[in-house]
Structure 1
Amino acid sequence: MTTDITRLLWNTTALYTAPTAPELADDLTAGAREAGAFREKYQGKVTLLDDAGLTAALTAYERLNELLLKPQLYAHLLFAADAEDDDNKRLSQRTAEFGNRMSRELLFFDLEIMDIPDERYAKLAATPELAPYRHYLDSVRRFRRHTLKEREEQLLKLKNLTGAEAFSRLFDELTSSLRYRMELEGEEREFTGEELLGLLHHADGTVREQAFSTFLRRHEEEGIVLATIFNTIALDHGQELELRAYHHPMEPTNLGNELPEEVVNRLMEVSEANYGLARDYFRLKAQLLGLPKLKNTDIYAPVGETGRRFTFDEARELVLAAYGEFNPDFRSIVAAFFAERRIDVLPRPGKSGGAFCMGMTPHLPPYVLLNFTGNLRDVATLAHELGHGLHFVLAQRQTMLNYHAPLPLAETASVFGEMLLTRFLLNREPEHRTKIALLCAKIEDIIATTFRQNVLTRFEERLHLERQAGLVTAGRLGDLWWEENGKLYGDAVEMIEPYRWGWSYISHFIHARFYCYSYTFAELLVLSLYQKYLDEGAAFIPTYIDLLASGGSRSPADTVRPAGIDLADPHFWQKGYDFLAELIVELKELVGNA
């Protein structure tokens, strides 16, 4: 069956017809004009507004932000789809500079919200008019003691264009431009990075190791640039920590996530205390593969039927069925991504690696980027990103300032979607060996989403701490990476030598400080939520919908409390790892009965 390639490319014309569309230029002009008018109307007056006046200002601020964001988000989609196209490059840079200028123009608003005296703020926040914005206002004011004067803040934002943002852009352009040559099945040919990483699921161990080595060695060739980017990002962050009087590199992220330091530390410490579960699984997988010991290129090796290939149509139907079994309304929401061509599917030169779902605004539809190569992991990635999409659609009940979920909950719907897919497949699979393969895939996914993300977070923490004392060379970055991964793998997994460059392609280190622990948080949270679903059945679904639909209108603790979850419970994180332990026991029983 032939596939119409155009339906595998996203259609962004719902935003603008082209990078050169007059409507886009008009929105940029209108946005600049309205930002100036907003500043003229409210600058120097926010602390004097009553509840009705502050509500009106917030409502106007939301409308303005939606106008300003639309061209920037559109440009990001085009650049992610093809970073080598000159028009996309120009538009991306133009909108980045526009966004920076507008953020400087509007910076006064948050600063003046911070300046409202505590007693006056308490009275304002208690009014019914401002109730919908209470969480947003509290979130802004939380950063008061780390915020500088307006002119200083403006200068920091201005220099970002030629500082951290410029190096982030360089990383994206460099990594998306890399080409790789490798022999496969007797023929040497060119691969994209995503195609090589997809070969980590190949049945032949030699191919897996060759593919990953080729990928990493190519990054090593760009080691001077990559090490400079990582050092510059860390130095920039360190300087800002000093300017803002933070005491630890993770403190701004924890504050923004509304998570006390002790909660994050407990999450990471409990994860490390359970690394033995991963090693237990790795030894079992070596047995299943008939190997004396796994290499880290064998971790995602296919077991039985996981070696099968899926067309994108097959993947779509599986994901739709899994969501539909949970809730028919979810199937309809997810199906719209396919029907409206809001998914860009296949890897190609110039396209960003990995996968993401971009939530726009409450009035614009979200889009998904994939690099689909047809293995089971790619099917799970489709379920994952559409979980994000579902979350963004349900949160469109909120207004702009409450739209985006707090970072610790941003991965909740995506990870839950993967769990729905796994159980859907397991419940319908009659073959014993295939059940083993599917359970292996799920366990590997949990290990990747918890333990591996904890490793990434510890590496990032050590990078930032060491950069405070001076340059961290590429060799030292490799050492840090090797040591943190070694704590997870122990004597159960042998790391191939090129893996010393495994840090160099992780984009989260570049684009967002300490994002990775959000995956660990979300996975363990989802395991608890999914257990409640198994216990309560359909009665759980309204609670789950409300959790997703709340967007960013509540703190993480307040968002999950209606589901009976207490993030302050010192035993909470261990419950998720107990669930993982049960899956490993279930797998051992299946293997024993094979």
Structure 2
Amino acid sequence: MRTPSPFHDANASAGGKSFGDLPEWDLSDLYAAPDAPEIERDLDWLDAECRSFAADYEGKLAELDAAGMRDCIHRYEKIDSVAGRVMSYAGLRYYQKTTDTGRAKFLSDAQDRITNATTPLVFFSLEVNRIEDARLDALFAQDDALARYRPIFERLRAMRPHQLSDELERFLHDQSVVGAAAWNRLFDETIAGLEFDVEGEEAEGPLGIEATLNLLSDPDRTRREAAAQALARVFGKNIALFARVHNTLAKEKEVEDRWRNMPSPQTGRHLANHVEPEVVEALRDAVVAAYPRLSHRYYELKRKWLGLDKLEVWDRNAPLPMEDPRQVDWDEARETVMTAYADFSPKMAEIAEPFFDKGWIDAGVKPGKAPGAFAHPTVADAHPYVMLNYLGKPRDVMTLAHELGHGVHQVLAAGQGELLSSTPLTLAETASVFGEMLTFRKLLSQAPDANARKVLLAGKVEDMINTVVRQIAFYDFECKLHDARRKGELTPDDINALWMSVQGESLGDAFTFMDGYETFWAYVPHFVHSPFYVYAYAFGDGLVNALYAVYEEGNPDFQEKYFEMLRAGGSKHHKELLAPFGLDASDPAFWDKGLSMIEGMIDELEAMEAQG
């Protein structure tokens, strides 16, 4: 049941009405209202169908013939779809205003109801994992309609070594609503309710976290510093709560991992992503080895451009002195992204069009709205929804391109059906990062002069450093955090020290770090909502850089191959998806190919600097 989460760590912030007519979600394609009778109808159906499903199949899966197993899977898929529709509606309403207690209660009650309804289904994966391989292979050979679900069986069965008793699995299922889900909500509501008194911004009153983070990219260095200091003050005051959230979630994960005999804290994420641990480690090692060639070099350039002896953390996302600080209104942002999509393929723009016209995007910044941006696929028989916090910055245009790429991917993958449409995180970033790249290349080709080209290149390098270098540093922080938690409770100072241990290494000698920056781990939602998610961003960026290089080389029928890859959803392994492009993510040299694209842009920036 896919409850949406604001995973994309977008550079969005507080806004107003000056960017044009910003769209809002129309959730009526899911349900007309929270009191719509269809919601209770669907919940009642789930109660009855889950009981009926268990009565029909519990203890009998191994005896089913091919037709019987196919019918069983179709019924299971329908249950997943109905539950996913309810949870998508409840979750999307909640993220529109996380401080609304009524919306929070509706989400919590829906989660409780669905958890209770689906408890009888816990047997399903347990029994599937007890079926002999030869038996399943024979069933797949007899029925092509069943065989298309083979990837689902393979992913379930990857958990066989880590499966607990039926009774324990039921307990974990029932207990989930007061476990991680409850701590996630506490984190979300705390973050959304924080207020920041930023020196010099008194006329605006206390700012929310998005507005304050937005000031870190303000042209005025004094305002950036004031925002950073305000963030540090508020995080510092709340650090005990954030440390409690992280301690509890990391310990809960350690307990469950230990019972499941998981060899590492990362194993569950790798299994969910359908990616081999050695592939992730090759990615991680390649990026860390490239820190000096990427982030260290770039930030040394930026230090010179800003005319500073040292960069402070509030300079990391500062605009360049030669950058035009103009704001981009919504219509221009839409036109920029849609033109870039259409230039690649009119079909891509056609798929994206309804997002703007049918209430599939919620763009404005509003009190209590979740920070960042995301695209949620909802269910296969509906459509995705995109959330932004649009502020008219050039980076907000790139965020639109990113999330719209997710949306296009999700629309195309929906044809696989509910169980096969969901894409592993490592591949879920493919279309989003590719959409960003198309938009960037379009803008770069239209740059009127060398100065404009420099600004665009620098902006893209910064975005890729944030996506690759910063996310791998985040991944290393998480690895250290979970390893340390296994040895005992972590104080806020312990967690702060782990955070700082990866910051200097990844950012380089161009930086000094203000007092208080050690608490900035506290607001990153990925660590709370989805441990070890973050390497998927670096995976997706490296994959897309390699993929785009193939596109530029004129690979025959690239567009159609690309759409076929997106249509596959979660039905194919990354090796199979990349083969038509002559790429292989399990080859260590693959990651160097992607990183070399970033390095080449920094080479060009250094050459431009040398020429004056």
User: TM tier, shorter chain?
Assistant: over 0.9
Question: 2:296 maps to what in 1?
Answer: 279
- Among 299, 308, 325, the residue aligned to 1:291: 308
- Among 107, 110, 119, the residue aligned to 2:122: 107
Structure with higher RCO (Cα < 8 A, 6+ apart): 2
Confirm or deny: 8 A CA contact 1:234 1:464 kept in the other structure.
yes
Residue type at the aligned position of 2:484:
E
Q: Closer, same or farther in 2 for the Cα pair 1:184/1:376, shift >3 Å?
A: farther
TM superposition shift of 1:95: 1.1
Question: 1:365 maps to what in 2?
Answer: 383
Which is worse superposed, 296-305 or 466-475? Answer: 296-305
- Among 528, 550, 557, the residue aligned to 2:546: 528
Query: SS at the partner of 1:191?
Result: coil
Which is worse superposed, 69-78 or 175-184? Answer: 175-184
Query: SS at the partner of 2:369?
Result: coil
Query: SS at the partner of 2:588?
Result: coil
- Among 154, 163, 184, the residue aligned to 2:179: 163
Residue type at the aligned position of 1:345:
A
TM superposition shift of 1:118: 2.2
- Among 25, 28, 41, the residue aligned to 2:56: 41
Aligned counterparts, 1:166-315, within 5 A = 166-184=182-200, 187=203, 189-276=205-292, 277-303=294-320, 304-315=322-333
Confirm or deny: 8 A CA contact 1:406 1:556 kept in the other structure.
no
Query: SS at the partner of 1:182?
Result: coil
Mapped to 2, the partners of 1:240 and 1:2 lie a distance apart of 47
Mapped to 1, the partners of 2:415 and 2:37 lie a distance apart of 30
Which is worse superposed, 184-193 or 248-257? Answer: 184-193
Mapped to 1, the partners of 2:447 and 2:508 lie a distance apart of 34
Q: Does 2:79 correspond to 1:64?
A: yes
Q: Closer, same or farther in 2 for the Cα pair 1:6/1:39, shift >3 Å?
A: farther
Aligned counterparts, 1:486-497, within 5 A = 486-497=504-515
- Among 91, 96, 111, the residue aligned to 1:81: 96
Confirm or deny: 8 A CA contact 1:201 1:375 kept in the other structure.
no
Confirm or deny: 8 A CA contact 2:51 2:120 kept in the other structure.
yes
TM superposition shift of 1:348: 2.1
Mapped to 1, the partners of 2:389 and 2:238 lie a distance apart of 23
Residue type at the aligned position of 1:496:
M
Count of residue pairs brought into register by the alignment: 594
Q: Does 2:425 correspond to 1:407?
A: yes
Question: 1:29 maps to what in 2?
Answer: 44
Residue type at the aligned position of 1:322:
A
Q: Residue by residue, what CA displacement relative to the aligned partner does 1:560-593 show, whole Å, maximum 9, x if unpaired?
A: 2222111221211111111111111122233344
TM-score normalised by the chain length of structure 2: 0.94
Mapped to 2, the partners of 1:503 and 1:209 lie a distance apart of 18
Residue type at the aligned position of 2:255:
Q
Aligned counterparts, 1:357-506, within 5 A = 357-506=375-524
Query: SS at the partner of 2:205?
Result: strand
Mapped to 1, the partners of 2:555 and 2:133 lie a distance apart of 45
Q: Structure 2: which 5+ runs fail to align?
A: 1-15
Identity of aligned residues (%): 36
Q: Closer, same or farther in 2 for the Cα pair 1:152/1:387, shift >3 Å?
A: same
Query: Pairwise CA RMSD of aligned residues?
Result: 1.7
Which is worse superposed, 374-383 or 156-165? Answer: 156-165
Residue type at the aligned position of 1:557:
K
TM superposition shift of 1:455: 0.5
Question: 2:12 maps to what in 1?
Answer: none
TM superposition shift of 1:517: 0.5
Which is worse superposed, 442-451 or 152-161? Answer: 152-161
Query: SS at the partner of 2:149?
Result: helix
Mapped to 1, the partners of 2:315 and 2:338 lie a distance apart of 30
Q: Closer, same or farther in 2 for the Cα pair 1:143/1:2, shift >3 Å?
A: closer
Which is worse superposed, 540-549 or 208-217? Answer: 208-217
Mapped to 2, the partners of 1:440 and 1:411 lie a distance apart of 22
Residue type at the aligned position of 1:136:
I
Q: Residue by residue, what CA displacement relative to the aligned partner does 1:525-568 show, whole Å, maximum 9, x if unpaired?
A: 00000111111167211111111110000112222222211122
Mapped to 1, the partners of 2:330 and 2:598 lie a distance apart of 29
Mapped to 2, the partners of 1:211 and 1:314 lie a distance apart of 29
Query: SS at the partner of 2:350?
Result: helix
Which is worse superposed, 196-205 or 229-238? Answer: 196-205
TM-score normalised by the chain length of structure 1: 0.97
